Amino acid sequence: MCGIVGYLGEKPAQPILIAGLKRLEYRGYDSAGIVSLSPRSKATLVRAKGKVSELVAKVSEAPKTDVIGIGHTRWATHGEPSKRNAHPHNVGDIYLVHNGIIENYQDLKAMLSRYDYEMKSDTDTEVLTALIDYLSHKHETLLEAVSGALNMVVGAYGIAVIDRKNPDEIIVARKGSPLILGLGKGEVFIASDASAIVGYTDQVIYLRDGEVAQCMRDGVELYDLEQNVVSQTVETLEIDLQAIQKQGHKHFLEKEIYEQPETVRATLGGRIDTEKHTAKLGGLNMTDAELRAVKHIFVVGCGTASYAGLLAKYYIEQLAPDVMVSVEVASELRYRSFTVPENSVALFVSQSGETADTLACLTEMKRRGVRCLGVVNAVGSTIAREVDGGVYLHVGAEISVASTKAFTSQVVAMVIFGIMLADSKGADKRVISEFVDELDSLPSQIEALLAEQAGEIAGIAKKYAKYEHALYIGRDALFPVALEGALKMKEISYIHAEGYPSGELKHGPIALIDDRFFEVCYIQDNWLYEKSQSNLIEMNARGAHAIAITDTTKKVPAENVIRVKTKLSYLTPLLFNIVTQLLAYNIAIARKTDVDQPRNLAKSVTVE
């Protein structure tokens, strides 16, 4: 959600902070700010409501050559989007930026009021800033003051703190909100996301929960909250500058849709053997005997990740019929009373690897002794570090808030897991072979779809940009695609869209059909073709404005028909989903919405 950047070195800090904030814009925010210090000048604090461009305009009025600073993009939680609620916050000599939520801020605020602290904003962050300022008068070092304050707070945080009296260090800390330290020669970079560091250094430290870092020009020292020194591991950052650029595309979303042939190849790379018709994920840390014993799988995720899990459920249960798959929305599961069946494993699906609700479920599953596996994209993320084993998607940075390429590769990775289960259990070799062959063909099939039909889909999309409502329906494995399709439409075009199983049409949704709605009907030419066709006919009888997405050559009675040419069978829903992505993208373009940074949304949801 919010973004943090920081710099300490010999170069002017302001340009580095601004560049970092621009790279973090995709995460979602409503205000931004930076503060910089120099041994020879006062602190320069600049904050603005709105986009980073508003901040840039203000900074240009007061440019500084200060060599230390911190910056932030804020997504409002406590208090409306405004300049006074924007970060960095300042109390006394302390300046602070913060991702997360301080749950007991009201109690701390009441305590601080007894010492004549008066808050100027509505935020929990200013309360934490005031608490550190209060403790800084009782301790000799900023490290002691920050550690003391964090021992008093309840909640989640990633923070960076500077003291006007000491322009030679930045203190950072994390609990439940990611922070990365980039190490250069005589300089340190701080960020909540690796994209802000790319191009400056590839040597990084991923801060772990409960760690506090003292950043100085000559290096970094790590401590726990009791100020005991802890070990540090320097890793090489596996992302390049090209990955976070549009490379000729109008939007990151368009780029990421078109990257899918290559990103699926990257997910499959070294994991399927088309000669032996086998598949293997190397990072699961499970033996064949352990795989064979699995009887139940929890798939835990939020939003697009949960829909990827739902689609994978159809495939895994088809591959390994003795395995039951339960797909759980993390924000619900974490507060629910639930039973863990014997021989269960849990898959935690998250593009960022930092989703707060998914992490909370991971903690609970580990407490119950369940083997936990990650399906994540972000290398070094918290979920990737906390699970017992797992798989990286290798799709590269996904910048657009609306997930596209990650969804496809999440499904692919879970299908490979299903193949491994099936193989270990001696399941039907014919079905396993067919899935392996289809996985191998999938990238070229996506490539052909994008090359041959993107223009047609864009033309159809323009006809439906005037509608304010949409209904998506699909049967079997196309039901999760309907849910994901509706989500993409509402995320980026702001059209109200709902997804349903086609068989539920007469149980309520058909009442919605009128001239304010258009409908997207997924119809696969398989054993359910006639039933799906009959749903379309029922809708037409009530005045539907339907788009049919189908792989059949038969006549389909819809206002517009998008025929996907494919030799796939099992994995055809993934091709239909790419059609859906293109529909949503082109309708959003026609409606002139902010495609990459939709209103009110954030890329990585690191707080509830």
Say whether both 236 and 291 belong to one domain.
no
- Exposure string over 522-558, b if 16+ CB within 10 A, otherwise e: bbbbbebbeebbebbeebbeeebbbbbbbbbeeebeb
In the set 22, 109, 313, 603, the catalytic residue is 603
Does one domain contain both 152 and 287?
no
State whether 156 and 217 are in the same domain: yes
Same domain? 219 vs 259:
no
Confirm whether 289 is domain-assigned.
Answer: yes
Q: Are 238 and 152 part of one and the same domain?
A: yes
- What pLDDT does 100 receive? 85
Domain-embedded: residue 134: yes
Specify the DSSP class assigned to residue 504. Answer: G
Angle, alpha carbons 536-540-543 (nearest 5°): 145
CATH number of the domain encompassing residue 565 = 3.40.50.10490
**584 and 454 belong to one structural domain:** yes
Question: Pick from 212, 227, 244: which residue ends a domain?
Answer: 244
* pLDDT for 603: 65
- The answer to whether residues 271 and 418 belong to one domain is yes
Given 193, 212, 244, the domain boundary residue is: 244
- Which residues form the domain of 482? 252-591
Q: Looking at the structure, tell me whether residues 225 and 256 fall in a common domain.
A: no
Q: Are residues 206 and 321 in the same domain?
A: no
Question: What one-character-per-residue DSSP string does 71-97 give?
Answer: EEEE--SSS-SSTTTSSSEEETTEEEE
| Together in a domain, 238 and 343 | no
319 and 219 in a common domain: no
Note if 250 is an active site residue. no
Judge whether 607 lies within some domain.
no
DSSP secondary structure of 371-413:
EEEEEESSTT-HHHHHSSEEEE-------SSS-SHHHHHHHHH
Give domain status of residue 31, yes or no: yes
* Within-domain flag for 603: no
CA distance linking residue 20 with residue 239, whole number of Å: 15
Residue 579, number of CB atoms within 10 A of its CB? 24
Which of 244, 270, 297 corresponds to the end of one domain?
A: 244
Mean pLDDT of the chain: 92
Residue of 2, 215, 372, 521 marked catalytic: 2
Is residue 555 annotated as part of the catalytic site, yes or no? no
Is 444 strand, coil or helix? helix
Per the structure, the count of domains in the chain is 2
Considering just the CA atoms, what is the radius of gyration of the chain in Å?
Answer: 25
Q: What are phi and psi of 210, to 5 degrees?
A: 85, 5
Q: Is residue 25 part of a domain?
A: yes
CATH number of the CATH domain containing 120: 3.60.20.10
Q: Which stretches of the chain drop beneath a pLDDT of 50?
A: none
- Per the domain annotation, does 599 fall within a domain? no
Please give the model's pTM, rounded to 2 decimal places: 0.80
